[in-house]
Structures are given as structure tokens and as C-alpha cells.
Amino acid sequence: MLFAIPIATSVAPTGSTGIVASLRSLTAILLLTLCAGVTAQEPSRAARREIAHLFEHLEQSGCQFFRNGSWHEARKAAAHLRKKYVYLLARELSPNAEIFIERAATKSSVTDAAYRVRCAGNPDVPSAAWFSAELVRFRKAPN
């Protein structure tokens, strides 16, 4: 909810015009700060469906997920990424699947080390590429 703080709009006695200008600047900054929070958004139903699919795809893939120096089974990796997603949702920082991949499924937020995915018979690949390829495939599939 936005609200305005009333400020003086007339020029004050000599010597205090700088104060009025400062108050106007402060009000403008306050309003811009409040408006910045309005731009954050919740994921749409379609985005939530896509992200849920990415979790399911990882869980059912039989692949391994590399994070923080060791390989993990897909179900444990999906559980870890879900925790990161919940964190992002609480802060309205994951409005779509691409942003989810970028902010939660690409690298460690602690060590900044890239995540990787390794599936049987294939070389390991960056997790961002793996999730992005699946997202493209999912979007093209008939629903």
C-alpha cells in the first residue's frame, strides 16, 4: 500500500528553501523505494506448473546432481532446490521458471560454485543448461 507524507509546498522564509527542496527529494526517494517493492511479483499458475515440472523431472531422472563438491541423488537435490525456491517465493524473487533456474538451480548461493547434472551414459552438464533444455521441451510438449 502506498501513502504520501505531506510536505510543505510553499517556499519558506529566507534561508530555508534548501530544507523544502531536501524534503521534496526525501519524499521522492521514499515513494520510489515503496514502488520498487510493488514490482516484485508472485509466479503465475503457468510458472508454478513449469517449476513443479522441473522438480519432478529431476526427481524422476535417475541423474546425479553435483553441488558443493559432491554428487547427490536426484531426490535429495530436488529437496535442496525446493528449499531455495521457498526462500525465493517468500521474498517474491522467482516470478518465472527462467528466474528460478537462474537464482536457485544454477549455483550455490553460499560458495558460488556451479551445479552440474550427470545422467547415465552422458557427460555431466551445467545444471542451468539441463533445466533450461527441459523447460524448452516441456513448453513444446502438447498439454
Q: Which residues have CB under 8 Å from 31's CB, separation 6+?
A: 2, 4
Q: What residues make up the domain containing 15?
A: 1-39
The phi and psi torsions of 69 (rounded to 5 degrees) equal: 90, 0
Residues 50 and 118 both lie in one domain: yes
Query: Domain check: are 81 and 22 in the same one?
Result: no
When mean pLDDT is compared across 12-16, 30-34, 51-55, 99-103, the lowest value belongs to 30-34
The stretch 40-54 carries a mean pLDDT of 92
Looking at the fold, whether 106 and 61 belong to one and the same domain comes out as yes
Rounded to two decimals, the pTM is 0.71
Predicted confidence (pLDDT) per residue in 103-112, tens digit: 999 999 999 9
pLDDT digits (tens, 9 = 90+) for 21-32: 444 544 444 344
Shared-domain flag, residues 32 and 49 = no
pLDDT bin (cut points 50, 70, 90) of residue 140 is very high
Specify the number of domains making up the chain.
Answer: 2
Domain co-membership, 7 together with 63? no
Paired with 64 in beta bridges are 73, 118
Judgement on whether residues 49 and 117 belong to the same structural domain of the protein: yes
